[in-house]
Homo-oligomer: A and B are copies of this chain.
């Protein structure tokens, strides 16, 4: 194994580190805002609990661990996947949900109420709040005014830490370890917040990165510098074919047409970022293809039957990881 070099993260992460405390004393009553809060020990605790949660769900469907607790799901933009996953997680823990998932049509908001007032109202009803909001920093703002734990369910181009946790958990479950892996990330590496958060979490481990994207969608400098500060090997290329034989993890994201000023340029490159059975024929026998979903063509449906296609198991893992997080911030595990 290569030596791990711990260094202070740069860029946005630094600013966040000032305001979001690390989870040094455990999760009880803490906010979950950014992946920068997590140590390797924190991750391993959550993963161990998530494995317990899976065993409980498989055996009996649910537990009474959070009986009497209420989760408010405050979604300022719709996200069927994330809200459904949190609702199922809280239900299977024996708790209940206040679903506020009407997209932009909030009555109080349309009456001009501030986010802090909405949060302070909801925390008078609920024990924990998941917030999804289109503006970066909104989850932190919510946490700053709340007495109850806030979980960031995605704050615009900011972070989506529970997605990064479920991605990490999936890698560990599928391949048995994280140290020593070669992780390929494909697609829109510039704007994809899931890529940024996952890359940062992976820096806590001894991995090597292969990034594959069109030139205009390359990984931002601050994330790249984070990785370099950790002394981890990095390579960049334009074509998935260049890395398919080497990677243990192929993390695929969508290349959106809207990102291209020149549509011809998009048409030219997009096929290089579609995962097909032909491409998979060159991959290792023991590796995984992952995707945060929804996908719109970037992984061929013909790949679904491949045992290495892990994206639907990844979704299921999201429920176990969120069960673990909810139980942890409410002080039960």
- Chain A contacts to B: CB under 8 angstroms: 60-62, 67-70, 72, 77-81, 84-85, 87-88, 91-92, 96-103, 105-114, 116-118, 120-122, 124-127, 293-296, 301, 312-313, 315-316, 318-319
Contacts and interface: CB of A to CB of B under 8 A. Distances in A.
B78 A68 contact: no
Contact of A112 (B92, B110, B124, B294): B294
B78 A105 contact: yes
B61 A127 contact: yes
B81 A294 contact: no
A293 B111 CA distance: 10
Given A60-B68, A67-B61, A68-B92, A316 B125 contact: yes
Contact of A295 (B91, B99, B107, B113): B113
17 contacts: A62-B67, A68-B92, A79-B107, A84-B100, A87-B98, A87-B125, A88-B126, A91-B96, A91-B97, A101-B102, A111-B294, A120-B312, A120-B315, A121-B315, A124-B312, A124-B313, A124-B319
Contacts of A70: 61, 88, 91-92
A192 to B, nearest CB: 14
The listed residue with most B CB atoms (<10 A of its CB), out of A78, A85, A295, is A78
A68 B62 contact: yes
A114 B69 CA distance: 35
Contacts of A77: 107
A129 to B, nearest CB: 11
Name the 7 nearest CB pairs between A and B, nearest first.
A61-B68, A113-B294, A124-B316, A88-B125, A62-B68, A78-B107, A91-B96
A252 B151 CA distance: 32
The listed residue with most B CB atoms (<10 A of its CB), out of A61, A116, A295, A316, is A61
Contacts of A301: 114, 116
Nearest to A66: B61
A266 to B, nearest CB: 16
A120 B293 CA distance: 11
Contacts of A68: 60-62, 92
B80 A108 contact: yes
Contacts of A316: 124-125
Contacts of A72: 84
Contacts of A124: 312-313, 315-316, 318-319
Contact of A122 (B79, B84, B295): B84
A293 B113 contact: yes
Contact of A293 (B99, B109, B121): B121
Nearest to A312: B120
B61 A78 contact: no
A55 to B, nearest CB: 13
Contact of A103 (B80, B102, B118): B102
Contacts of A92: 68, 70, 96
Nearest to A75: B107
Contacts of A121: 81, 84, 293, 312, 315
A112 to B, nearest CB: 4
A310 to B, nearest CB: 12
